Chain A
């Protein structure tokens, strides 16, 4: 019998019991986001031609970049089976830290601007990584709910940022930092966009081609099975949360250069926005599923509709309303497709 079976291709036998239609498959594998994005771009361009204006597009790119990086952070934690509500607070704290290091550093090391900028980056990243480590430690050692741990962490960090700044922006950010990073361009595109695309590429590679990526999916999908299979679940969670912290810190750093000051009040809605981007991009709320490239498309979609609403001067109050409605529609469509597939 082995002679017969050896010649058979092992891949084609036992076709799976389900057979989704081609349209359903397309929609399951990111088709929803792509459709949303195309509709939003085309509709906006038709309704408001100023959308295609070069300066406006650059603006959309910058906003997209600063939403994409924390959304990827959110995706990492969500695919590992958690939530990171503290992502916005980390952005606020690292923005304050970046500005403060630059302000103090400029006094000690006058003229060494590059060194001061790098020092600020390193300190900010360190803070982000530390927050991620604490989050993961609490989640994995005490089996606490990620939702509650990061909610508490968000509260603590916002308190810290407000205490040190009293809510007042920290000025004195190195000028060349603002000029070269926040407003800088390379090959006609904003530096922050290049940074975000680099992070995106790294995430895609990590998810697809490394053991860490696979372990994050495994832990998020079924932690018990992952542990029984010999995956170091604790270490995997630490890696996911720390990477998320690093990305949030990078966002804070870049946002500071964009705003020209360290602000403790930014990032307030970022937890919601990043979860929205992740979920619209197909990240499962129960973990184990999610791809960086689709999250990027979802973040771009959200940036486009936010820009469209600004262009046609929709009140900011209604903008939150629209975000919520879009989120609900995307979730409902995903659930319907899933049900169809399972039937």
Chain B
């Protein structure tokens, strides 16, 4: 029904997708598997018309399509639900579902009919949502449901689902799976992007694996093992990606006692991090682990509880006082919280260290020493290209992350907080980040890693705290760490 051949797309000269073939049959669920940066999102964005492809042939029902916009794609029956939502926060659920396809009689909207149709649509999917609430006030899971309903409003022939269960609870995910089965029975072809092996196994008919923008292969799901799929995905046995870390837990460097943030994104959370160990924070996106790190660093207002460094309590953490107390934080959102994108790499690397004697005396910057000072950390991190005067925005995601990390290497900190250190960066850069964490820990620092990538925690951490809805629900020691163990606490219960 849908077929693309030789699809290629370049961003700034780098091929994000390289000569990829993909096809979808009527009533088929075709899973796309690959690591972050493998080209999955590029492929589905091209298919959905978000941006144009550079080379390749696109055919739908035998008709060749030469150019595509999201609107045209919708008209020919291709709908997409991306992880980044296309919902308008200030409009209600009903208004969002019909946005851009309002039903009117003459000049006036058919408000009642649209409300009725939206109710029926959501009902058919088994989703229960407050129809007249503004989307801004919905939870992420509810937004996800609105987004799915919105995609189905056009009665698509092809539906693209990009990690649709990433923010859903088990019960909600179950409803989604039922909806997928229903659509499949109606003959809708579904492109399903997911990291979760169990979903791919239960839902999909075929799997296409991408790595580094290239297609590794398409296989029938029932004919391949999980291990086989993982090996196709990472291109090497899993163990080689992660360095072996020698944990030597020493004195407690950071202790958080019964911390609750003002926004109640973290509730009564406690954890400790010792010198010479990696402590993991696990949980779904939005479970409060990012906010916990941010609160420790003084970026979220604290309502109750204490942050202790060694045996000293920090009254009101602020970023500058925490930096001065040798605590370093790497944000998840490099663009808006970390890097000054318009400034050169050099300035970004030294930004939080300008008070070091190596870089300044009094108010005067020793700008002539700057290049010399940053050379070693940037070389250790293998910054590519090694061009300190280039604007931060001109580096790839992985190398932007390295610039962030370089800040923490300007001097040695006691505690490093990493929030999603490998989001959106390629496998090579990931390995560099893991090696950095290893060297920090083995030099005696205390490292806290908050991440949604379970393999990272299982292979790097000495202990893992699992969070659910703002609370710490479990602490797992190294010997208890397995994906199944950690996941069983993801939804708060002991399922």
Contact = CB atoms under 8 A, between A and B. Distances in A.
Interface of A: 1-2, 5-6, 8, 10-18, 209-211, 214-215, 217-218, 220-222, 224-231, 284, 288-289, 342-343
A10 B94 CA distance: 12
A224 B89 CA distance: 12
Contacts of A230: 70-71, 74, 99-101
Contact of B100 (A1, A210, A229): A229
Nearest to B178: A1
B130 interface: yes
Given A10-B123, A13-B129, A18-B137, A343 B263 contact: yes
Given A218-B88, A218-B95, 8 more contacts: A10-B119, A221-B91, A225-B86, A228-B70, A229-B88, A229-B100, A229-B150, A343-B263
B401 interface: no
Contacts of A288: 88-91
A233 to B, nearest CB: 10
B104 A210 contact: yes
B108 A214 contact: no
Given A16-B137, A209-B111, A11 B88 contact: no
Contacts of A231: 99-100
Contacts of B399: none
Contacts of B130: 11-16
B93 to A, nearest CB: 10
Contacts of B451: none
Contact of B102 (A12, A211, A221, A343): A211
A93 B74 CA distance: 45
Given A225-B86, A225-B88, A14 B128 contact: yes
B107 interface: yes
Contacts of A229: 86, 88, 96, 99-100, 150
A337 to B, nearest CB: 14
19 contacts: A5-B123, A5-B126, A8-B123, A8-B128, A10-B119, A11-B132, A13-B130, A16-B130, A209-B107, A214-B91, A218-B99, A221-B89, A225-B88, A226-B88, A229-B86, A230-B70, A230-B74, A288-B90, A288-B91
Contact of A210 (B71, B90, B108): B108
B90 A289 contact: yes
B352 to A, nearest CB: 29
A228 B132 CA distance: 22
B137 A227 contact: no
B32 interface: no
Q: Closest 9 interchain pairs by CB?
A: A230-B100, A13-B128, A288-B90, A228-B86, A221-B90, A229-B100, A211-B102, A229-B99, A225-B86
A16 B139 CA distance: 8
Interface string B45-57: 0000010000000
A17 B262 contact: no
B108 to A, nearest CB: 5
A235 to B, nearest CB: 12
A228 B73 CA distance: 11
A343 B265 CA distance: 9
A222 B211 CA distance: 33
Contacts of B123: 5-6, 8, 10
Contacts of B50: 228
Nearest to B120: A10
B85 interface: yes
Of A17, A224, A228, A288, chain B has the most CB atoms within 10 Å of the CB of A228
Given A229-B88, A288-B90, A2 B129 contact: no
Nearest to A206: B107
A31 B209 CA distance: 56
A8 B133 CA distance: 18
B137 A225 contact: no
A288 B88 CA distance: 9
Contacts of B119: 10-11
B435 to A, nearest CB: 37
A225 B126 contact: no
A205 to B, nearest CB: 8
Contacts of A210: 104, 107-109
B131 interface: yes
B137 A17 contact: yes
Contacts of A343: 262-264
Output the residue of A18, A222, A343 with the most chain B CB within 10 A.
Answer: A222
B2 interface: no
Nearest to B103: A211
B87 interface: yes
A140 B196 CA distance: 41
A225 B146 CA distance: 13
A211 B132 contact: no
Given A210-B104, A288-B90, A2 B126 contact: yes
Contacts of B142: 14
Contacts of A228: 50, 70, 86
B111 A14 contact: no
Contacts of A209: 107-109, 111
B173 interface: no
Contacts of A289: 90
Interface in B40-73: 50, 70-71
B376 to A, nearest CB: 41
Contacts of B132: 11
A224 B86 contact: yes
A12 B150 CA distance: 20
Given A5-B123, A16-B138, A211 B109 contact: yes
